[in-house]
Amino acid sequence: MKKLFFVGLFLLMAGFAGAQDYYTAVGLRGGASQGVTVKHFVNRYDAIEGILAFRWGGFIITGLYEFEQEFAEPGFSWYYGFGGHLGHWNSGSTHKPHWWKPEYNDGLTIIGVDAIAGLSYTFDRTPINISLDWKPSFNLIGYSGIWADGFAFSIRYTFK
């Protein structure tokens, strides 16, 4: 139901205003992990994004390279990309994931790769950008496996 609400919100906002070009945007990201996001365009269609997310009493730092294309109307776009992450959890956290093993009692560090795909909307008259995306991850070091629950909604303040 939440996903349907956010898709409806995107479609509703698409009718309000056109695009606002921006170079950098800073904001909040909410989903299975909550945190902050910074997105910076290196040219008109390519951006780098950094995410610092918190989950299970630890953190994950993610860096992504994204390709963005406008569609439907100015301000509404879709994007995809790839990158990597580094994370760490303490053994003393009371919020441990279901896959936590006793051998992780000294803490757990993970390193892995990420993909991302999403929709983005930038308002014309206000310096706000919103996005809805899916960011699956695969850990190479630490707990190995695929994390496919990376759906998130971000709201960012844009800078020209």
C-alpha–C-alpha distance, residues 134 and 64, integer Å: 13
C-alpha–C-alpha distance, residues 138 and 110, integer Å: 10
Query: What mean pLDDT is predicted for residues 32-42?
Result: 95
C-alpha–C-alpha distance, residues 37 and 33, integer Å: 12
pTM of the model: 0.81
Instruction: Return the closest-CA partner of residue 85 out of 19, 141, 3, 158.
Output: 141
Structure token digits, residue 98: 């279901």
C-alpha–C-alpha distance, residues 30 and 133, integer Å: 11
pLDDT for residue 38 is more than 80? yes
**Using one digit for the tens of pLDDT, what is the confidence trace for 61-89?**
999 999 999 987 778 999 999 999 999 98
Strand partners, 131: 120, 154
